[in-house]
Structure 1
Amino acid sequence: MANIYLNLSLYSFDLHIHTTASDGIFTPSEIVQQAVDKGLKTIAITDHDTIHGVQEAQSAGIQAGIHVIPGVEISTRFQKKNIDVLGYGMEDLDLLEELLRPFREARTHRAERIVRKLCQLGMPLTLDDVKEFSGDHLIARPHIAHAIVKKGYAPDLQFAFDHYLGDGKPAAEDKLQISVEDGIKMIHQTGGKAVLAHPVYLPDRSWVPLLLKHPFDGIEVWHRSHSWKDSEYYLLLAEKHHLFVTGGSDYHNPSHKLGDFIKKPT
């Protein structure tokens, strides 16, 4: 396994990145420039339930000499737990955009419900206040958090999540999720490969082989939250199930490190 680390260190890629098209704080073009600054050669834009950032990133990538893989992270559910399914290399992006339309509409309705709850909690807010931060992109909770902070209802984004928007908090609302099977089917139907995202976030390790009974093509072995031992275990599972492996930082903001997600062996 130590030799694998040495080999991986020769590569420069990050296959799990979010932009302002979902809940990241950098535009797709800004992400590409940051990738250039980091010396990355290949990246994938994997926004939540949308591919709106892909075209801008690919155009910027052509200019910068960076390969940008079209990606997406689809919200699914299995046994009442959130399961993220990464998709890579989808060929029919027009069809995928149409298949993802219900997610976009559901996110808008969810935002409306959250805004109503915030108003009932004594924090007058409008959807236009939120769209000031989301623009024409899919509305995510960080956009609402930004609006809360701007209105002076919270000192920072973390406070907004901890007190109002986080799971189980007074203004929380569930997002649309489809079955794992349907998420994988959506990716395959549009010519892509489906990957089980950050398995370390599952309730426990027993869930990983259980989920791999679904027709996944790959597993995210390397992630900023994976220890070396975690990645070692996931790599063995990938070999057992004949899956390809991926890795990424799950980059959203400066608290994460673009291109830095492979832990050294201990």
Structure 2
Amino acid sequence: MGVDLHTHTTASDGSDSPAELVSAAAALGLSAVAVTDHDTTEGLAEAQAAAARVGIELVRGLELSLEWGPGGMHLLVLLIENRESLSSRLVRLREGRTRRNLEVLERLRSGGMDITLEEVREEGGPGTIGRPHFASLLVKKGYAPDIPAAFDLYLGRGRPAYVERFRLSPPEAIAAAHAAGGVAVLAHPLTLGVEGGRLSAVLAELSEQGLDGMEACYGAYDPPTRRALFDLARRHGLVPSGGSDYHGRFKPDVMLGTGRGDLLVPDELLAELKAAGAARRSPAPHHL
């Protein structure tokens, strides 16, 4: 049946509500779906209720952006058991997002674009506001032909309206994942901006810090890349994970469950992640 362990809803920068996404995953025949919104667990209660109605397993999760130099490092926290342990860190992250959004808005307006905070909030709905909402508004107002172009022209790293924000360090984020009863999975590893031996060295360091898995079966990667990352994860003792990174209309070329049409994440990988989490929570045996 397959699983999808990386999706986003209206609680952050997706266009489907948590209930809509979970229902769509069940209709596709997936056995489990993870809701992994950015810096928030606010959509999980709605998603859990929908999962109970439609008969699909919900994997409780979220996605964190981490401090990292060459590129971007994101961490998926999956199989969350204790949401409350994350609350103080998530408040800091959301406050950082709010400050960043105000500066992004100011930079766009200084560049001659007629947009308001109220319009961005309307685009984002009830969830956390992010760059995809700015991008969507720029398209609607005719400042960019499509969402990827809005990032390329204005919002991406190095572009005029790109603004850094507060992020957690990798060790802090991994520790937070474990404190919440979950597992820590490195998302879309090629965004780190390193490859080959350097990527392997980074994985070795993260593994020492407690990383549990790596997203090898990622929706935007081609099959040879997925296989290479799958093998790399195994070499470092990490569970290969996978997901589409579905955002609905904000990433129209990425489909739920299948990514760009050829993704299949086996159920066994979720079982391995559960086993890794259980092993981490089990006390080590004492030898006399």
Provide TM-score, normalisation by structure 2.
0.81
Contact 2:257 2:263 in 1 (8 A): no
Query: 2:271 corresponds to which residue?
Result: none
Residue segments in structure 2 that go unaligned for 5+ positions in a row = 265-288
1:229 aligns with 2:218: no
CA distance in 2, matches of 1:230, 1:200: 10
1:166 aligns with 2:156: yes
With over 3 angstroms needed to count, the CA separation of the structure-2 counterparts of 1:62 and 1:109, relative to structure 1, is same
1:65 aligns with 2:55: yes
1:133 aligns with 2:123: yes
Query: 1:217 corresponds to which residue?
Result: 212
Contact 1:145 1:165 in 2 (8 A): yes
Q: For 1:193-226, what per-residue CA distance to the aligned partner results, in whole angstroms no more than 9, with x for missing partners?
A: 0011122333213243222222211121211233
CA distance in 2, matches of 1:42, 1:93: 20
With over 3 angstroms needed to count, the CA separation of the structure-2 counterparts of 1:163 and 1:94, relative to structure 1, is same
CA distance in 2, matches of 1:153, 1:237: 41
User: 145, 169, 178: which one pairs with 1:179?
Assistant: 169
Contact 2:13 2:127 in 1 (8 A): no
Query: 2:147 corresponds to which residue?
Result: 157
User: 99, 107, 119: which one pairs with 1:117?
Assistant: 107
User: 250, 254, 257: which one pairs with 2:255?
Assistant: 257
Contact 2:219 2:245 in 1 (8 A): yes
- Name the one with the larger strand percent: 1
CA distance in 2, matches of 1:64, 1:119: 44
User: 68, 91, 94: which one pairs with 2:84?
Assistant: 94
Contact 2:32 2:56 in 1 (8 A): yes
1:206 aligns with 2:197: yes
Provide TM-score, normalisation by structure 1.
0.87
Q: Aligned pair count?
A: 254
> Aligned-pair distance for 1:95?
2.2
Q: For 1:46-73, what per-residue CA distance to the aligned partner results, in whole angstroms no more than 9, with x for missing partners?
A: 1122222222111111111011111111
Look up the SS of the partner of 2:67 in the other structure: strand
Query: 2:286 corresponds to which residue?
Result: none
